[in-house]
Structure 1
Amino acid sequence: MHSLRFTASATSDGVLERDFTLGEVTGVLWSPASGPDHAPLILMGHGGGLHKKTPALMARARHLATTCGYTVAAIDAPGHGDRPRSAEDDQARAELRRAVAAGEPIGPVSSRYGASLAERAVPEWRAVLDALQDLPEIGADTPIAYGGGITLGTAIGMPLTAADPRITAAIFGGGFVVHDALLEAARRITVPVLFLLQWDDEHVDRQSALGLFDAIGSREKTMHANLGGHGGVPAFEDPAPFLVRHLGRATLSPA
């Protein structure tokens, strides 16, 4: 069994950022520089072809750390960010580029690759969560939510949320091609869900995304639909109110 190892640490604007590894998995942890232990933990996924430190993801993480006192964790999906690519990763990326250049649907390639990534990433996320809960500042009783599930983050976050009972609320997005395994995972989700939908997504059929929302088994689920294309979730879609409603807010210490 691998142990979590911190590889870099820096503090800026009241946020402590720590890079870590767990075996082959590369990740980052953000937390208030002065805050309580056992604050709620938010897991964040990144989009396809991106990595754990995209500007938008980092901005959300730092916002949640400074305004809510949360700890936020993100990891690179298999074949993304600081992780090596397999032959399958390279082939899928090449096929996606060809489809986009030719103006062809990306659904067949995207759904197949997304399902494969989820099969690999869900066990990794659960192992990371085990290791994070072993840290004294987090602990086993920390409230946990999946708070960043746009595009690829949905393809991984839905089966993760369905599989891990430690996750008690989740935010997903409609920007990923829906496939049978994703629908099956959605049906097994029972925690409160906020679902973000880009109404004019050029890569995902709107009815398919609405069907994914409809499949979610939660008794409490809310959709926020905004005009705009793929990956263009507006900055005003603040995850904090939803997360605070379900996890509470940590008390920040004076600087």
Structure 2
Amino acid sequence: MHSLQFTAESSSNGTIERDFTVGDVPGVLRSPASGADRAPLVLLGHGGGNHKKHPAMAGRAHLLVTGCGFHVAVIDAPGHGDRPRTARDEQEIAELREAQAAGEPEGPIVVRYNARLAELAVPEWQATLDALQQLPEIGADGPVGYFGIGLGTAIGMPLVAVEPRITAAVFGLMWPDALMETAKRITVPIEFDLQWDDERIPREAGLALFDAFASQEKTLHANAGRHFDFPRFEADSAVRFFARHLSHGGTATA
């Protein structure tokens, strides 16, 4: 089992940010500056083409750390951030750019590429969770959530389906291809986001994926707008969701 190695530390705005590696996978762990004793952990999955310190990741982590007192961890997906691209990565990205330039459907390429990334990333996330739970401020028996949109959903759904330590999740904005059977194996509470006027992912496809989840508690958030109009206030809703499901006596309101 790979051990966690901290490589840098800084603090600002009520949070401590620690860069780490687990094997050759780089990540960042954000925690309350005041110190949190056995606080819940939320794993964040970044979007396609982004990385562990993308502003969206930093913003969501800040809300969870300062609003709930949680720890939040993000790792770079294969071929993203500080991780080198393989020849296969370059080929898939080139095909995606060609399809976009020609106005052709990009879904089949994204679905295929993301499925490959998920195969690699799921065991990496599990190794990272193993290592993080060795930290005394997190512990092996604390609540764990997962929050990922786009590529974060393509990787997060297979992860949640096989990882019993994750007990609540937020997903959204992903094609259902290759994920429908996975959704049927997910039973934890979920919140699912889609854009009603998404020009990339047909509305019916998003609704079908939501319907496929086996969770007894699942909530659909549909917002007007196109794919990249995904509203920032959904992050606030995710914080309230995790406060309900991971906290004991949390103060967030529904």
Q: Same fold (TM over 0.5)?
A: yes
Q: Distance in 1 between matches of 2:82 and 2:228?
A: 22
1:180-199 → structure 2 map (5 Å cutoff):
180=178, 182-199=179-196
Task: Name the SS of the counterpart of 1:140 in structure 2.
Answer: coil
Higher relative CO (Cα under 8 Å, sequence separation at least 6) belongs to 1
**Structure 2 match to 1:168:** 167
1:68·1:249 contact (CA, 8 Å) conserved in 2?
Answer: no
Match of 1:208? 205
Matched AA of 2:239: A
Shift of 1:249: 5.8
> Any conservation in 2 of the 1:40–1:250 contact (CA below 8 Å)?
no
Asked whether the 8 Å contact 2:2–2:127 carries over to 1, the reply is: no
Alignment partner, residue 72 of structure 1: 72
Q: How far apart are the structure 2 equivalents of 1:82 and 1:146?
A: 22
CA distance in 2, matches of 1:231, 1:35: 36
How far off is 1:228 after superposition?
1.6
Does the 8 Å contact 2:99/2:105 carry over to 1?
yes
Shift of 1:250: 8.3
1:118 match: 118
Letter in 2 for 1:242: F
Secondary structure class of the residue paired with 1:231: helix
Q: What whole-Å deviation, never above 9, does each CA across 1:169-217 have from its counterpart, x for those lacking one? A: 00001x222213x111111000000001111222111111111101001
Q: Which residue identity is paired with 1:203?
A: R
Name the counterpart of 1:242.
241
Q: Which runs of 5+ in 2 are unaligned?
A: none
Partner of 2:224: 227
> Would the alpha carbon gap of residues 95 and 250 (structure 1) be closer, same or farther in structure 2, given more than 3 Å must change?
farther
**Per-residue displacement from partner, 1:142-195 (whole Å, max 9, x unpaired)?**
100002x1100010000100010000000001x222213x11111100000000
One-letter amino acid of the counterpart of residue 146, structure 1: Y
| RMSD across aligned positions (CA) | 1.4
Gaps of 5+ in 1: none
Count of aligned pairs between the two proteins: 249
Which residue in 1 is equivalent to 2:109?
Answer: 109
Calculate percent identity across the aligned residue pairs: 63
